[in-house]
Structure 1
Amino acid sequence: MAASLVLAVVIVLHNLVPDVGGLGLVIDSAAPWLGLGIPVLLVLAAFARRGRPWVAALVPLVAWVLMFGASIIPLKWTAPPASATTLTVASQNVEASSGTGAASAADLVATGAQVVAIQEMDAASRTEISSVLDATYEYSYQVGTVGLWSSYPILNAQPWDLGLGWQRALAADLETPEGLVSIYVIHAASARIGDHADRDEMLKNLANVLPNDENDRVIAVGDFNAASTDRAFKPILSQLSEPNQSDGLFGFTWPASPFPVTRLDHFLQRGLDVISNTVIPAGGSDHLAIVATVNL
C-alpha cells in the first residue's frame, strides 16, 4: 500500500519533484507513463496474496485519471462544426540533418493548410523547403531556424530571440478574412538531463510576452522541447490552451520512430474554436508534424 501511495503522490505532484541531476525533467516528461506502474502494483499484490490486489491500484489509478483523463478524450466528441471560414495550421521540426526538409514541406502542403510553420531549418534545408512552399504560399517570413508560410498576408513580422541572443522564434500577424490573428512560431532550445536552462529561459520569456499581445486571437505553434506536463511549460498553458487530439490519446510527437513517447510539439491558442487537431508523419524527420484547424 505504501508503494501505491508513493506512486499516486508522484503522479499528482510530479512538478514538485526536485530537479536534481535532471530528475525533474525526466519525471515531468514521463508523467503520463507513470500509469504503467499501476498494473505492476497489481501483479506484485497478487503474488503477495495479501488483501485485495485491486486496492493497491485504486489510489494511483484515480490519481492518473484525475491528472490525465480529460486530456485523452477525443476532441471530435465535443468539437464545434466547421464555420464558413476556417484556418488550418501545419507545423513540424524537420530535423535539418535528416535531409528530408523538402519532403516534409510537400507533405505539409498536401494537408491543405493555409499556414505552414517550420522549425530546425539550416541553410541547405531552408533553400529546399522554400522552393517547395513558395510555389503554394504567396507570403512568407523566415528567421534563424524557423519559418512561416501563409496564404494570407503576414504583417508585423519580427524575429524573437526570447532571451537567448540568437533567433529561434518569430512573431507575426496573419491578415485573415475575419481579422488579425497573432502567430508565434517557436523552436525552443534543447532540453537535456541537467541542461535545460536555455529552454526554460525561452519559455519563461514567451509567457511574459503573451499578456502584451493586442489581438484577441493568438496562436503559438512549434517545437517547444517541453512536454505538456513539463513544469517550465505551465506558465504558457495558463494563458493558451492546448486542444485534445481529434481521435484522443496524447498525440505524442517525438521520436517519430520507432514510436513517439512524449509531445514536444504543440499547437496552442486562445480566442479560437478548434475543430480538429492531429499528428501525422511528414518527410523523414524525427518529429511528427501537427495539423490543427480552427474556426475564424
Structure 2
Amino acid sequence: MTQVDTAETGRGDAGHQDTGSGTWRVGIRRAIRAGCRPEPWRRGPVLAALALLLGLFMLLHAWIPNRIGGLGSLVETFLPWFGLFVPLLLAGALSRRSASAVAALLLPVVVWLNLFGGLLGPGGPPGGSHPDSDLTVASHNVGADNPDPAGTARDLAASGADVLALLEVTPQALSVYETELAAAYPYRAVRGTVGLWSKLPLSDTGPVDIGMDSSRALRTTVATDQGPLAVYVAHLGSVRVFPRNGFWTGQRDAGARMLGEAVAAERNERMVLLGDLNGTLDDRAFDGIASRMRSVQDGAGDGFGFSWPAKFPVARIDQILVRGVEPDSSWVLPATGSDHLPVAAGISW
C-alpha cells in the first residue's frame, strides 16, 4: 500500500506541474490572441491621430511660420510644455483600450525626449557650484520695480558668484547696488541699466550695439588666473502680445541678430554671455547666438532652469552661454524682490 500511495502521489505532483505549465502557456496564447485582435487597434482613431499630430508638431516646430502673428516663436517659447499632452492622451488611450493610440504616442515621446531629455539628466550639483569649477558666474534681472534692492544685492553676494551681471538697474537703485556689493565685488563696469560686478579685475569695457541704445548691453574682459575671459552682458528688447498682431518680437529679434554678429566677431576664444534675452534658446530668433555658443543647461543644468516669472516660472529667458570654456553646473538661485529668478553656473577651462 505504501509503494502504491507513493507512486500515485508522484503522478499527482507531475500532473499538478503539467497543469501549471499548461496554464502558463494558455495565458501566453490568450495574450497573443488578444493583441492580434483587430478591435483594440480600431478603437480610438481620434486619439491616435492627435498623438501623431502632437509628435509632428514638436518635430517640425521650426516650420511653423512666424508671419502669422509670430506663432512660430510663441510655440518655441513654451515648447517643453507640449509634453504635458502625452499623459493626457495616454490616459484617454488606456480608458478606450486603444492599442493604436498607445502605439502612436511613441512618436511624441521620442521627439520630446530627443529635444529635452538631456535636461533630465543629473547635470551638475543641484543648487551649487561644482567643486572643481574655475569660476562661478551669475546673472539677474533685478527688476526696475524691485522694492528691496538692498536685500537683493545681499542675496546675490551670498551666492558666492565670482562674476555677477545685473540688468534693469535703475539710476535710483544703482547707488544701492554699488554700496551693498562693494565689499564682495571691488570691480564693476556699468553702462546704462546693465552692469557687471566682479571679484577679479576688469578692462576694455565698452557698449555693444543691439539696435536700441548703449544702455542695454556691454562687453568687458575679466582677468582670470587662466587668462582673459570676454564677458558680454545684454538685455534684449521685450516681447509683447497684441490682440491683432499676435506675438510681437521685432525689437528683440533685431537685437538678437546684432548680438549674434558681435559674438561672431569676438576675438577672444573664451567668452561668456550673461543676460535677459527675453526668449528661450528654442526660439529660432537665437539661432545666430546658439550656433556659436553653448548653453550652460546643455548637460550641466539641474532640470529646465525656468527663470520667469518668479512666482511660477514657465520659461528660461535669463541665459548663460559660453564659448571656449566648459560648463560644470547650472542652477537657479532663490527668488528676490524681482519678477525674475537669478541664474548661476560654474565653468572650467
Residues 192 and 216 in structure 2, CA contact (< 8 A), matched pair in contact too = yes
Query: What per-residue deviation string (whole Å, max 9, x for no partner) do you get for residues 99-143 of structure 1?
Result: 222222111110111111000111112121111112321111111
Which of the numbers 234, 252, 258 marks the counterpart of 2:306? 252
Residues 100 and 284 in structure 1, CA contact (< 8 A), matched pair in contact too = yes
User: Where does residue 102 of structure 1 map in the other structure?
Assistant: 150
Amino acid at match of 1:161: D
Residues 30 and 262 in structure 1, CA contact (< 8 A), matched pair in contact too = yes
SS in 2 for 1:149: strand
Distance apart, 1:228 and its partner CA: 2.1
Which of the numbers 46, 56, 63 marks the counterpart of 1:9? 56
User: Where does residue 233 of structure 1 map in the other structure?
Assistant: 286
User: Where does residue 138 of structure 1 map in the other structure?
Assistant: 186
TM-score (norm 1): 0.92
Q: Please give the alpha-carbon distance, in whole angstroms, between the structure 2 residues aligned to 1:74 and 1:124.
A: 41
User: Where does residue 221 of structure 1 map in the other structure?
Assistant: 274
User: Where does residue 276 of structure 1 map in the other structure?
Assistant: 329
Is it true that 1:159 corresponds to 2:213 in the alignment? no
Is it true that 1:286 corresponds to 2:339 in the alignment? yes
Q: Please give the alpha-carbon distance, in whole angstroms, between the structure 2 residues aligned to 1:284 and 1:30.
A: 25
Q: Please give the alpha-carbon distance, in whole angstroms, between the structure 1 residues aligned to 2:222 and 2:104.
A: 52
SS in 2 for 1:182: strand
Amino acid at match of 1:14: H
Amino acid at match of 1:199: R
Query: What per-residue deviation string (whole Å, max 9, x for no partner) do you get for residues 28-56 of structure 1?
Result: 11100111111122233334444344213
SS in 1 for 2:105: helix
Residues 82 and 295 in structure 1, CA contact (< 8 A), matched pair in contact too = no
- CA-based RMSD of the aligned residues comes to 2.0
Please give the residue correspondences for 1:40-51 in structure 2 after superposition, counting only pairs within 5 Å: 40-51=88-99
Residues 171 and 183 in structure 1, CA contact (< 8 A), matched pair in contact too = yes
Query: What per-residue deviation string (whole Å, max 9, x for no partner) do you get for residues 143-188 of structure 1?
Result: 1210111111111100123122342110011111221000000111
Amino acid at match of 1:92: H
Which of the numbers 30, 39, 44 marks the counterpart of 2:78? 30
Residues 90 and 115 in structure 1, CA contact (< 8 A), matched pair in contact too = yes
Is it true that 1:67 corresponds to 2:120 in the alignment? no
Distance apart, 1:4 and its partner CA: 1.5
Query: What per-residue deviation string (whole Å, max 9, x for no partner) do you get for residues 65-120 of structure 1?
Result: 1111123322238xx9754x711112100111122222221111101111110001
SS in 2 for 1:75: coil
Residues 107 and 282 in structure 1, CA contact (< 8 A), matched pair in contact too = no
Residues 73 and 285 in structure 2, CA contact (< 8 A), matched pair in contact too = no
Q: Please give the alpha-carbon distance, in whole angstroms, between the structure 2 residues aligned to 1:187 and 1:173.
A: 18
Residues 82 and 275 in structure 1, CA contact (< 8 A), matched pair in contact too = no
Q: Please give the alpha-carbon distance, in whole angstroms, between the structure 2 residues aligned to 1:137 and 1:36.
A: 43
Relative contact order, higher structure (CA 8 A, sep 6+): 1
Is it true that 1:170 corresponds to 2:223 in the alignment? no
Q: Please give the alpha-carbon distance, in whole angstroms, between the structure 1 residues aligned to 2:150 and 2:207.
A: 23
Q: Structure 2 stretches of 5 or more lacking a match?
A: 1-47, 242-246
Residues 169 and 185 in structure 1, CA contact (< 8 A), matched pair in contact too = yes
CA pair 221-40 structure 1, distance change in 2 beyond 3 A: same
Which of the numbers 228, 232, 237 marks the counterpart of 1:180? 228
Residues 76 and 283 in structure 2, CA contact (< 8 A), matched pair in contact too = yes
Mean CA deviation greater in 184-193 or 217-226: 184-193
Query: What per-residue deviation string (whole Å, max 9, x for no partner) do you get for residues 6-43 of structure 1?
Result: 11111122122112123222201110011111112223
Q: Please give the alpha-carbon distance, in whole angstroms, between the structure 1 residues aligned to 2:99 and 2:316.
A: 38
Q: Please give the alpha-carbon distance, in whole angstroms, between the structure 2 residues aligned to 1:248 and 1:177.
A: 28
Moved beyond 4 Å, runs of 4+: 80-83
Identity %: 37
Q: Please give the alpha-carbon distance, in whole angstroms, between the structure 1 residues aligned to 2:197 and 2:301.
A: 27
TM-score (norm 2): 0.79
